[in-house]
Amino acid sequence: MRPPSPLLILLYVTLSRAMKTVSKRGSVDLCTDWSVDYLKYRVLQGEPVRLKCALFYGYIRANYSQAQSVGLSLMWYRSTGLGHGDFEEPISFNGVRMSKEEDAIWFRPADLQDVGLYSCVLRNSTYCMKVSMSLHVAENDTDLCYNSDMRHMEKAELSKSKDITCPDIEDYIEPGKDPHIIWFKECRPKQWRASILQRRDSLSIREVKEDDIGNYTCEVTFGAFVVHRTTELTVTGKMEGGMKRCTSLGYHFFFLQRFSAF
């Protein structure tokens, strides 16, 4: 039998020490509970989302394969309430709409009934660590292609350049391939002027104008599904004579800067 590699020994010792340290707090099931992770998953109804176990992305120095190699199992639980500590039950994966894939849960697609807290538990017969992630699923606003509460916010300055990215789409891009993205403004297709260029995952505005204010939605094709991300762009600009104009969603505010000599 081959002796375990130094990496596996170091990983096992690291995990054991971390779990032993916190299990002394008096937890009934000896499971270290890191509560709810700061990253909140938000998705539109009918769109896919990958909910990743946060333990491997900031709590332990190991990935899923390394944890498996030292005998640790990953289990998932769900609480239909949004309060930490609510009743949790194990998840039965049907492999169709919701499936467990390595260190994550895939929803293809997400539904309103999926809202809640999802806990991933990494354990063996002796040690246990747990963290929860929140998932919020929402419908589009009436007659719109986005939900206002899920928009990203960006600011630009008149006559300057600005890039509007299609954010958080890494899970929907196949390795070695460029994403298939269509851009909309106010949920409608648009013929972009020559100074607006569409790059791999962004719109590049060379010279921002007042007409550029509004909501930009990128649509990413992901298999049989599409994923939408919407960014609200506001614009500010300085004018001559000490006058500063701030433009936001079609509203214009003027501030006169006065200087007094004493």
pLDDT in tens, 92-132: 888 889 999 999 999 999 999 999 999 999 999 888 999 99
For the chain, the C-alpha Rg in angstroms (whole number) is 24
Report pLDDT digits (tens) over 190-233.
999 999 999 989 999 999 999 999 999 999 999 999 999 999 99
- CATH superfamily of domain region 6-18+28-138: Immunoglobulins (2.60.40.10)
Domain parsing of the chain, residue ranges:
6-18+28-138, 148-256
- Average of per-residue pLDDT across 5-28: 39
Please report the pLDDT score of residue 23 as a whole number: 33
Please report the pLDDT score of residue 200 as a whole number: 87
Question: Residue 84: pLDDT above 80?
Answer: no
Within the chain, strands assigned E span 32-44, 49-52, 73-79, 89-90, 98-101, 104-107, 116-123, 128-138, 152-157, 162-165, 181-185, 188-189, 196-198, 202-205, 214-222, 225-238, 243-248, 251-256
Report pLDDT digits (tens) over 130-148.
999 999 999 999 999 999 9
The answer regarding whether domain 148-256 maps to CATH 3.40.50.720 reads no
For residues 54 and 252, the model is more confident at 54
Asked, colleague to colleague, whether 6-18+28-138 and 148-256 share their fold, the answer is yes
Report pLDDT digits (tens) over 19-41.
433 333 323 356 899 999 999 99
User: pTM above the 0.85 mark?
Assistant: no
Show the tokens assigned to 2: 């081959």
- Rounded CA gap, 91 and 69, in Å? 23
**Long-range CB contacts (within 8 A, 24+) of 143-148:** 144/187, 145/184, 145/187, 145/217, 145/228, 145/230, 146/44, 146/187, 146/215, 146/217, 146/228, 146/230, 147/44
**Torsion region of 143: left, alpha or beta (phi above 0 gives left; psi -120 to 50 gives alpha):** left
Please report the pLDDT score of residue 238 as a whole number: 61
Report pLDDT digits (tens) over 58-73.
999 899 999 999 999 9
Question: Residue 184: pLDDT above 70?
Answer: yes
Name the percent of the chain lying above pLDDT 90: 67
Evaluated on CA atoms 111, 112, 114, 116, the torsion sign reads positive
- Rounded CA gap, 139 and 20, in Å? 43
State yes or no: cis peptide before 109, omega within 30 of 0: yes
